Structure 1
Amino acid sequence: MDKLPKIALPALAAIIFLIIIISKSAITIGSGEAGVLYKTFGGGVVTDEAPLGEGFHLVAPWNKVFIYEVRQQEVFEKMQVLSSNGLEIKLDASAWFQPEYESLGKLHQEKSELYKDRILLPAIRSAARSVVGRYTPEQLYSSKRDAIQQEIFEETRNIVGDQYIQLNQILVRDVTLPPTIKEAIERKLKQEQESLEYEFRLITAEKEAQKVRIEAQGKADANKILSASLTDKILQDKGIDATLKLAESPNAKVVVVGSGDDGLPLILGNN
């Protein structure tokens, strides 16, 4: 009975030590995450192997694991940039990005967990200043929004392309001009719209007048052709036909033949 505690205590201590070792060594990586292994006695950050994937892992207790989110993320940025004529423009933009999975070790070693603040956001600011500086406030306000967004995306991607960051999209969410400039542009656009509308009405009126002239000319030409084809004989024959039809009418009472100026019949007593 005296020997039992002497055996149990070392065993208990070993179990407790084993539990501590396992708890220090167990790493669980969540969904959409990956881990970068740092070997304290083995060369530091592991860059020549794939990062640790999702799930449960056991690592030596003297090593460390740095966990990164590797799914697509979004970062917002508000900037003040200058247009081509030196006016201050406020630009709200966001970026869709994610770290390059296979290069996660190099990203951690060279850029650290602060890569968004140290690399991505400065790149977006630099690209935005460069692109917006090529355009006037009028272009920024109206027709060039999509082009500006695409150019900022391409320039930012060129900057971060070798920085182990995958840039998926840049979205320009708002462009704010100084109030006086915005009002002046809106007045100009309104005047241009009214001018276009006036020109459209003039063109429509001119087309309508041209249509009326063509129709009138057509009628005049038709009458001219008809007049040229109506000889005295034709007119006399048509008069006789008309007289016969009137004579057959129940309202025709008296027909005087050959009493007209042209020898055509006269109809008298018409009720």
Structure 2
Amino acid sequence: MLPGYLIDMDGVIYRGTDLIEGAVDFINELKKRDLPFIFLTNNSQRTRRDVVTKLSRMGITVGEEHIFTCAMATARFLAQSKPNGTAYVIGEGGLLHALHRNGYSIVDHDPDYVVVGEGRSMNFEMIEAAVRMIENGAKLIATNMDPNCPTQNGLRPGCGAIVAMLEAATKKKAFSVGKPSPVMMRSARQELGISSAQTTMIGDTMETDILGGVEMGYRSVLVLSGGTALGDLDYYAYQPDLVVDSIADLNKEEFFQLEGARFPKMERLLA
């Protein structure tokens, strides 16, 4: 039973435009060992091809099959729930592309769903239109509920912040498909063709990456190179199986020998 890896990107592989040391070596080692892996992101703006190009420019060579976005998870979920449906979209290219690929039409009135993703092109007129559509019966779907997104210039409002405004205005709750939703976590595992017992989630955020892994019964690794500090763990009722400073700490034989079993105590790889 070879393991497979779901790997978050921002905070794990890179920060903004800066590659995190050890990321290239770790991915190359996975490829060398022929271990299945997929990058898992709650960013719905980019298509698979866009993400592959970004990684390539950083020195990480992967194919589109190694990318799984919340936009893809959302589009597939909607296609299963209501094939050939319609959507009013607050979002950008990655989300629009995923919906089209899964048989959805983008409309500006009477949609089956109002679908919200990340983006900077949103304006208040779009919010007003979405509110009226939800009031008229459209279901509210969030690609994720992240309240903010890190950028080189600091935080900007994320998908969750936009969704919160719509929820407050309509008194209707959104259904979120992105991490930590089991919908996305399960779909990504199925992409790899492995079982839950074989799956390891590597991420930097307790509320999405680690929570999603814990709820699905996956092994979970928290890296401290992103948005979580070691002291923050005291505030959570759930815990990762392993905590390391960065992904570079995983590129060692001790980690790869943990195949097919639960991780030992954290101190083994932290020592």
**Which has the higher relative contact order, 1 or 2, with Cα contacts under 8 A spaced 6 or more apart?**
2
TM-score, normalised via structure 1 length: 0.19
Of structures 1 and 2, the larger Rg is shown by 1
Higher helix share: 1
